[in-house]
Amino acid sequence: MNGKKVMALAGNPNVGKSTIFNALTGARQHVGNWPGKTVEQKKGYFEINREKIEVVDLPGTYSLTAYSIEETVARDFIIKDKPDVVIDILDASNIERNLYLTLQILELTDRVVVALNKTDIAEAEGAEIDAEKLSRLLGVPVIPLIATHKSGIDRLVKTALDIAKGEKKTTPLKIAYDRAVEGRIEKIELMLKPLSLEGYPLRWLAIKLLEMDSAAVELVKKAGGKDILIDISGMEPLEGEHDIETVVPATLYDIIGKIVDEAVIYKEKGETLTDRLDRVLTHKYLGLPILFLVYGLIFGITFVLSTPLMELIDTGFNVLRGGAASILSSSGAPAWLNGLIVDGIIAGVGGVMVFLPVIILFFFMFAIVENSGYMARAAFVMDRIMHKMGLHGKTFLPLLLGYGCNVPAIMATRTLENRKDRLIAILINPLIPCGARLGVMTFIVSVFFSGLTATLVMLSLIMISLGLVFLMGVLFRKFVLPGEHPPFLMELPPYQMPGIMDILIHTGERGSIFVKKAGTVIVAVSIVIWYLSNYPGANINSSYAAMLGRTLEPLGSLMGFDWRIMVALIAGFGAKETTITTLGVLYASGGSSAGFIAGITASLTPLVAYTFLLVQMIYVPCLATVAIIKKETGSWKWTGIAVGYTLLLALILGVLVYGIGKLLGWG
């Protein structure tokens, strides 16, 4: 075949696919030590001997059935896109379970090279793997690897390329099931022959049909093979105690057992670090308090360390504004241009760049937790609580991710198998305040409150959001999407020392996404806000912004909000960061940020400020989140529900908190 060669990376979750993808392509994909990070199929390119190679990172899967989105994505790619070579990545420290997928891949294609990754961990755990022997047994090349040190990558690329070009042939091991099953497979294969089946290997399809795999059944139905399906369902059940769902995996594991016996030597291993850590971190009583402690530390440290840094950045931007203003006026620029640049763009971007410390610190600490292996334990510990919502522990992970950004968090719900569970997880996710909202909160809290009160106010908001997540989860499960308690099954990877480079790269990546956003979306919103608040009249009170805000003021007054806050909330729909920018423009009479802070503290009581923080934390997801909800649910109805209920919830809580606060005389 001519043209660009395509390599696909396949493997169980958490085997190091993204690490290898990054090593190959120089990309900076998210690496973390918990199963299920990569839910999308990602593409990258690299060059070798001036030849361009495409690499596709498939989602991590344990199997190739049609029970989850990721598995379907992975297997469809291998079957339909026919990559020139599949690089099957194994976790050497976990070889038995990992080989299960390998055997399934070998049933689909012979263009396979096995990358035996994490050999360092395997060695430390006392497993000695003979790669040569393994290669002979599997019938495909096996390349040992330590992806985090990039060791073995060159050999892997060379071997993969040889296979892709057809210069190296493989003879993959053939899997033979017992006689009764083989007989059926043969019969079905014969029946399938006349159909045109988009290049699906017939033997594989026959096995899938025996297993009643939904996608395989659908395919054959479409190809006009209804009769075949009837014939299959009419086949006698297998003799013996187990049915086909059990026999097929049992055969695979049987073969694996023999392979492992021959190719792996286990030395007696004592208690591992993971055993010892798990005894404490997942302890039946200590587990939950420890989780809350970790949670508290992440937020506490972010909040405490970022406040002085935020002030520093703020001062920097004020100096910049002063400088720009004097240069512009001395060079004779028209007043509107001066206003646009100084009060519109610089003030707008500055108001958002102030959050940079929050974003950086949060992602830095979160990445440490993510890379250590603790994330999966958090799911384990939370399972009992999530169970009360009718969901399971795994649903907790997308929620945690939401504190960074709700968009990838909502995509991460793909790891949930059941559609109803997934819908609930998507619907409640926006209630978790993302980095941008946390930034707004940190900023406003530090303006209105100080010392311990500030920390407590911040904590109260985060606790309220958690309470709402729980409440809405229960309500959705009970009244909107009732269902069984979903089964909880999740691999817990060994703990590891977080790689400092992984953490720095990831933090830097998130930081640069944020800065880019400030340079694009937020500049645009700032210009619009500046225009709306300066035209048509010279006075802000007769501006378009004021007109817009005033029409909403009656609603706002229920919560103590003036028109300025209503405008800020509307702007926040575009990107939550711009809430602050907008407030800055609307409250700053003098133009400087001291003017903004003086202006806003003079206009709002702490009660109104608190109510505002609560409302901005809950009301409608931002535009990007709404878009991803639409994409992931594929339905306007559920997108509408997500927007509608958050809006309603924010309104109810806003009115309640403001009303009660006033009754208590806090206003």
Partner 1 sequence: MPPLPLSLLSPNQKASVISVSGGRGLVKRLNDMGFGPGAEVMVLNRAMSGPLMVMIRGTRVAIGRGLATKIMVNPE
Ligand X SMILES: Nc1nc2c(ncn2[C@@H]2O[C@H](COP(=O)(O)OP(=O)(O)OP(=O)(O)O)[C@@H](O)[C@H]2O)c(=O)[nH]1
**Alpha-carbon span 494 to 356, nearest angstrom:** 33
Contact mark string toward partner 1, 25..64, x via CB under 8 A? -------------------------------------xx-
Q: Which partner in partner 1, ligand X, none is near 384 (CB below 5 to 8 A by kind)?
A: partner 1
Which 8-state DSSP code applies to residue 476?
I
Per-residue H/E/C for 219-251? HHHHCCCHHHHHHHHCCCCCCCCCCHHHHHHHH
146 binds ligand X (CB under 6 A): yes
Q: How many CA atoms lie within 13 A of 641 on its CB side?
A: 15
14 binds partner 1 (CB under 8 A): no
What lies within 8 Å, CB to CB, of 483 at 6+ separation is 390, 418, 420, 421, 477
Alpha-carbon distances, residue 245 vs 107, 418, 569 (angstroms)? 17, 20, 54
| Member of 201, 300, 499, 511 binding ligand X (CB under 6 A) | 499
Least distance CB 652 / ligand X (angstroms): 38
Contact mark string toward partner 1, 61..100, x via CB under 8 A? -xx-x-x-------------------------xxxxx--x
Least distance CB 600 / ligand X (angstroms): 43
Q: Which partner in ligand X, partner 1, none is near 62 (CB below 5 to 8 A by kind)?
A: partner 1
Nearest to 394 by CA among 468, 288, 470, 489: 489
CB 485 within 8 A of CB 473: no
Within 96-135, the residues that bind ligand X by CB under 6 A are 117-118, 120-121
42 binds ligand X (CB under 6 A): no
15 binds ligand X (CB under 6 A): yes
Contact mark string toward partner 1, 466..485, x via CB under 8 A? -------------------x
Q: What are phi and psi of 7, to 5 degrees?
A: -110, 135
DSSP states of 359-412: HHHHHHHHHHHHHHTHHHHHHHHHHHHHHHTT--GGGHHHHHHHTT-HHHHHHG
17 binds ligand X (CB under 6 A): yes
506 binds ligand X (CB under 6 A): no
Give the residue with the Cβ less far from partner 1, 154 or 275: 275
Per-residue H/E/C for 315-354? HHHHHHHHHHHHHHHHCCCCHHHHHHHHHHHHHHHHHHHC
Q: Which region, judged by CB under 6 A, interacts with ligand X, from 28-36, 132-140, 326-334, 585-593?
A: 28-36
**Alpha-carbon span 326 to 318, nearest angstrom:** 12
Give the residue with the Cβ less far from partner 1, 172 or 393: 393
| Member of 245, 315, 334, 513 binding partner 1 (CB under 8 A) | 245
657 binds ligand X (CB under 6 A): no
Q: Which region, judged by CB under 6 A, interacts with ligand X, from 146-154, 162-170, 248-256, 629-637?
A: 146-154
250 binds partner 1 (CB under 8 A): yes
**Alpha-carbon span 253 to 96, nearest angstrom:** 8
**Alpha-carbon span 51 to 612, nearest angstrom:** 57
Q: Where are the beta strands (DSSP E) in 135-233?
A: 142-144
Q: Which partner in partner 1, ligand X, none is near 631 (CB below 5 to 8 A by kind)?
A: none
| Member of 110, 231, 383, 562 binding partner 1 (CB under 8 A) | 383
Task: Count CB-CB contacts under 10 A for residue 235.
Answer: 13
Which residue's structure tokens are 């009992």? 384
Q: Which region, judged by CB under 6 A, interacts with ligand X, from 140-148, 245-253, 562-570, 617-625?
A: 140-148
414 binds ligand X (CB under 6 A): no
Q: Which partner in partner 1, ligand X, none is near 211 (CB below 5 to 8 A by kind)?
A: partner 1
Q: What are phi and psi of 8, to 5 degrees?
A: -110, 135
Q: Which partner in partner 1, ligand X, none is near 492 (CB below 5 to 8 A by kind)?
A: partner 1
Residues in a beta bridge with 45: 54
Size of the chain, expressed as the number of residues it contains: 667
494 binds partner 1 (CB under 8 A): yes
Least distance CB 491 / partner 1 (angstroms): 6
Residues in a beta bridge with 85: 7
Least distance CB 17 / ligand X (angstroms): 3
Q: Which region, judged by CB under 8 A, interacts with partner 1, from 192-200, 275-283, 457-465, 645-653?
A: 275-283
Within 395-434, the residues that bind partner 1 by CB under 8 A are 417
Residues in a beta bridge with 8: 56, 86
Alpha-carbon distances, residue 426 vs 415, 525, 632, 634 (angstroms)? 12, 27, 8, 12
241 binds partner 1 (CB under 8 A): yes
| Member of 230, 284, 602, 634 binding partner 1 (CB under 8 A) | 284
Least distance CB 36 / ligand X (angstroms): 5
Interhelix angle 521-534/563-574, nearest 10 degrees: 150
| Member of 278, 314, 421, 502 binding partner 1 (CB under 8 A) | 278
| Order of all β-strands in the sheet with 42-48 | 42-48, 51-57, 5-11, 85-91, 112-117, 142-144
CB 118 within 8 A of CB 143: no
Q: What are phi and psi of 76, to 5 degrees?
A: -60, -40
Q: Which partner in ligand X, partner 1, none is near 502 (CB below 5 to 8 A by kind)?
A: ligand X
| Member of 30, 168, 387, 550 binding partner 1 (CB under 8 A) | 387
Give the residue with the Cβ less far from ligand X, 373 or 473: 373
Token digits of residue 618 = 């809950």
CB 513 within 8 A of CB 50: no
Give the residue with the Cβ less far from partner 1, 282 or 465: 282
Give the residue with the Cβ less far from ligand X, 29 or 282: 29
Q: Which partner in partner 1, ligand X, none is near 37 (CB below 5 to 8 A by kind)?
A: ligand X
Contact mark string toward ligand X, 191..230, x via CB under 6 A? ----------------------------------------
Least distance CB 367 / ligand X (angstroms): 10
| Member of 10, 19, 263, 342 binding ligand X (CB under 6 A) | 19
The count of chain residues that interact with ligand X, using the rule CB under 6 A, is: 26
**Alpha-carbon span 301 to 504, nearest angstrom:** 17
**Alpha-carbon span 378 to 394, nearest angstrom:** 9
**Alpha-carbon span 582 to 594, nearest angstrom:** 15
Give the residue with the Cβ less far from ligand X, 273 or 656: 273
Contact positions vs partner 1 (CB under 8 A): 62-63, 65, 67, 93-97, 100, 211-212, 241-242, 245-246, 248-250, 253, 274-275, 278-279, 282, 284, 376, 379-380, 383-384, 387, 392-393, 417, 485, 487-494
Q: Residues interacting with ligand X, by CB under 6 A?
A: 11, 13-19, 31-33, 35-38, 60, 117-118, 120-121, 146-148, 371, 499, 502
